[in-house]
Amino acid sequence: MPSTKLTDNFLRRVTRPKNGTITYWDSELKGFVAHVQKTTITLYYSRNNQRHLIGRFPTITMPIAREAARELDYKLRRGYTIYLSNYRYLTAVKEILNAD
């Protein structure tokens, strides 16, 4: 599993596998991960053997995804319970509010 800084530029140019999934871990934020497949790139935050879906790239931008991963990291380290449907909704609302 390669480790690199996950950026917009990197994910736009990454080589897609013909089948299966390649997992890229972010070198700056522990637990932030991109699953690259033939047709999609999905961003997650992974902690304690649980994956928390952030969104699909490029539907969700990398700055928003990184902020969401940091927020998940903060909350999970402090014992918060994250409900996936609520979190996905809040992430989508944040992205819409931050759009110019």
Q: What is the mean pLDDT of residues 51-75?
A: 88
Confidence of residue 48 (pLDDT cuts 50, 70, 90): confident
Q: Where are the beta strands (DSSP E) in 2-93?
A: 3-4, 22-26, 32-36, 41-47, 50-57
Q: What is the mean pLDDT of residues 32-61?
A: 90
Higher pLDDT, 93 or 27: 27
Domain count, the chain: 1
Cα 100 from Cα 96, distance rounded (Å):
9
* CATH code of the domain covering residue 52: 3.30.160.390
Inter-residue long-range contacts of 81-86, CB under 8 Å, 24+ positions, other chains counted: 82/52, 84/52, 84/53
Helix (H, G, I), strand (E, B), or coil: what is residue 35?
strand
pLDDT value, residue 75:
83
Look up the domain containing 84 and give its range. 3-98
